[in-house]
C-alpha cells in the first residue's frame, strides 16, 4: 500500500464530507413537487410573507394570510382574525432585539392543486445583521376564496 495515495484518497473523501456538511439545509430537496400546482404559489406566498413581515406593516403582512389564521407556537394556539391582530408581533420581537428575518430553508413536502405543506427554517437578525435566533417551522398555504395565502403555521420558536 502506498501511504501517500492512501492519505490523498482519505483527504479527498474528507473534503467531500466536509463540503456536504456545510452546504444546503441538510434535508432532501423538493424537486419532486416542482410541477405541483401549489408549489410555485407556496414559494410566492412565503416570499411575500417574509417581505411584508420585514416591512413591519401589519396590513401588508395580513394580505398574505387567510383569516382566521392559526399560529401554533410557544406552547399556545393563537387565532388571528385580522391584520390588527398582527400589530403587536413587531413590537414584541423588537423588544428582543429583532430587526428582520429571512428564510434559511424551505421545502414543500406535500402538495396538490389547492394546498401545499412547506417545512421551513427561518432566522431572526439584529440590526447589525448578527443572528438573534433560528427556528424550524411549517407553513400551510392554500388556495381559498380565490387567492393563495397562509392558513396556518406551526413553529418551534419559544
Partner 1 sequence: MMARFASAPLACALLLLGTSACAPKPADFSSCPASKPAFEVMDSFMTAFNAKDMTALEKTFHFPNMRISVYPLHVLTGPGQQEDVFGILTAEGWARSAWIDRTIVQCDPNKAHMLATFARYHADGSEYSRYDGLYIIELRDGFWGITARSTFAP
Chain residues binding partner 1 by CB under 8 A are 1-2, 5-6, 8-10, 12-17, 19-20, 24, 26-29, 66-70, 72, 75, 77, 79, 109-110, 112, 115, 117, 119, 136-138, 140, 142, 144-145, 151-152, 154, 156
Taking the least distance from each CB to partner 1, the nearer of 119 and 132 is: 119
Q: Can you tell me the distance from the alpha carbon of 80 to that of 69, in angstroms, rounded to the nearest whole number?
A: 5
Of residues 100 and 109, the one with the C-beta less far from partner 1: 109
Report the residue number, 67 or 90, with the smaller CB distance to partner 1.
Answer: 67
DSSP 63-108: TTEEEEEEEEETTEEEEE-SGGGGHHHHHHHHTTT--EEEEEEEEE
> At closest approach, how far in Å is the CB of 124 from partner 1?
17
> Edge to edge, what strands does the sheet with 147-155 contain?
76-80, 65-73, 147-155, 131-144, 115-125, 100-111
Tell the smallest beta-carbon distance from residue 4 to partner 1 (Å).
Answer: 8
CB of 112 to partner 1, least distance (A): 5
Q: How far is the CB of 127 from partner 1 (least distance, A)?
A: 28
Rounded distance, CA 90 to CA 133, Å? Answer: 15
At its nearest, how many Å lie between partner 1 and the CB of residue 21? 9
Comparing CB distances to partner 1, the nearer of 93 and 111 is: 111
Rounded (10°) CA dihedral 122, 128, 132, 138:
-10
Nearer to partner 1, 5 or 129 (CB): 5
Integer CA distances (angstroms), 138 to 17, 103, 122, in order: 29, 12, 10
Amino acid at each position: 500500500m502506498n501511504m501517500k495515495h492512501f492519505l490523498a484518497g482519505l483527504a479527498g473523501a474528507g473534503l467531500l464530507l466536509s463540503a456536504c456538511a456545510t452546504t444546503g439545509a441538510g434535508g432532501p430537496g423538493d424537486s419532486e413537487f416542482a410541477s405541483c400546482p401549489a408549489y410555485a404559489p407556496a414559494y410566492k406566498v412565503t416570499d411575500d410573507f417574509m417581505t411584508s413581515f420585514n416591512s413591519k406593516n401589519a396590513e401588508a403582512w395580513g394580505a398574505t394570510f387567510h383569516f382566521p389564521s392559526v399560529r401554533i407556537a410557544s406552547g399556545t394556539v393563537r387565532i388571528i382574525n385580522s391584520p390588527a391582530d398582527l400589530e403587536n408581533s413587531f413590537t414584541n420581537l423588537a423588544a428582543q432585539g429583532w430587526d428582520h428575518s429571512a428564510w434559511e430553508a424551505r421545502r414543500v413536502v406535500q402538495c396538490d392543486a389547492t394546498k401545499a405543506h412547506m417545512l421551513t427554517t427561518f432566522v431572526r437578525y439584529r440590526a447589525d445583521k448578527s443572528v438573534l435566533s433560528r427556528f424550524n417551522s411549517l407553513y400551510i398555504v392554500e388556495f381559498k376564496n380565490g387567492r393563495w395565502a397562509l392558513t396556518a403555521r406551526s413553529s418551534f420558536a419559544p
